[in-house]
Amino acid sequence: MVWARSVPRAWRERLKRYRLVGGKCPACGSLVYPHRLVCPYCGHEGLEEVELPRRGKVISYTVIRHPPSEFKGLEPYVIAVVELEGGARVLAQLTDVEPGEVEVGMEVEAVLRRYREQGPDGVIEYGLKFRPVE
């Protein structure tokens, strides 16, 4: 997802309501994110598209101190595996939290945040991040 800097207000509003769309396996009931065609657990083809819960908890995390060049300046930041309610697992960056405050088991919720800015034209990508639930 890439939007220009001049993204209109209406779009921003839409971003706030961004849905977390994943897949549900009709055979084994597993939830996966992102949506895909084949169930990674049982191999069943034809997962249904479902909206996933936005809340979950951190089950593991890594503090990134030496990021690839496009993320330079953002370090240190935290990449976590978040298990959503229902069991789908999402690999995503945490936001609104210091690396030293992150704990396994921490309750988090999905938000749309600026992800990175590219080049002098300032193309901004928005992406899914998770922040602690207050």
Give the three-state DSSP class for 88: coil
Q: Write down the least CB distance from residue 28 to Zn ion, Å.
A: 3
Q: Write down the least CB distance from residue 41 to Zn ion, Å.
A: 5
Of 39 and 108, the one with the shorter C-beta distance to Zn ion is: 39
Q: Write down the least CB distance from residue 20 to Zn ion, Å.
A: 19
Of 31 and 97, the one with the shorter C-beta distance to Zn ion is: 31
Which stretches of the chain bind Zn ion, using CB under 5 A? 25, 27-28, 30, 39, 41-42, 44
Distance of CA 25 to the CA centre of its chain: 20
